[in-house]
Amino acid sequence: MKKLFALVIAITFGIVSAIQIYAAGDPVKGKAGYAVCMACHGADGMGNNNLNAPKIAGQEPWYLERQLKNFKAGIRGADPKDTFGMQMRPMALTLANDQAILDMAAYVSSLPEGKTTEKTIQGDVAAGKAGYAICQACHGPSAEGSKALNSPKLSGLQDWYVVRQLKNFKAGIRGTKSGDMFGMQMRPMAMILANDEAIKNIAAYIATLK
């Protein structure tokens, strides 16, 4: 009986290990696929304000994977008001399957954050810090994010991108589509922000975090 139990455990462990191996992204393969992304996000993944492409270098792979799947499935980037999200969706559709998405996420997350993003938003940092108190429960005191809470890293993102996404959540452009469970959790948080000034203040504060 003990031998049978040990055999079951060994087989189970082997299956789990195999799944984990399959689930792991291959950054080398991801780099090859990244050629499509490079035109907008840059070879270094640091983004381009002029092309409305956010910084993606160093973002957590689990979050990159989720967003690529959301774009591909039409959960994100399908709202006609989400002009730049709609531009991103065809790019996600070039990824043939879940493994290709995992490979892409592995490569992008491995890109070093080599420079500081330029500040473009004028906001009250002190007021933004006060307003961020409600955000830090999920995103962390330094906006480092939390996989356990399904909250992405915000530190290092361009301030204009943070503003756009907060406005999208607040307006229902993002976080209302069926299947976007975590976006739906974020939307009420954005709706707490009274106006554009409050949104800019939050973005200005997050831009100070490293």
In this predicted structure, what is the pLDDT of residue 118?
Answer: 84
Regions of the chain short of the pLDDT cut 50: 1-22
Per-residue pLDDT, 161:
97
Domains 25-111 and 122-210 share a fold: yes
CATH architecture of the domain with range 25-111: Orthogonal Bundle (1.10)
Query: What pLDDT is recorded for position 23?
Result: 61
Supply the pTM of this predicted model. 0.86
Contact 108, 171 (CB under 8 A): no
- Rounded to whole angstroms, the Cα distance separating 63 from 48 reads 20
Q: What percent of the chain has pLDDT over 90?
A: 85
**What is the model's pLDDT at position 5?**
39
Tokens representing residue 2 in the block: 């003990």
- Number of Cβ within 10 Å of residue 144's Cβ equals 17
SS3 content of the chain, % helix, strand, coil (to 5): 60, 0, 40
Backbone torsions φ then ψ of 38, nearest 5 degrees:
-60, -35
> Domain 122-210, what fold?
Cytochrome Bc1 Complex; Chain D, domain 2 (1.10.760)
C-alpha 137: how far from chain center:
18
Domain boundaries, the chain: 25-111, 122-210
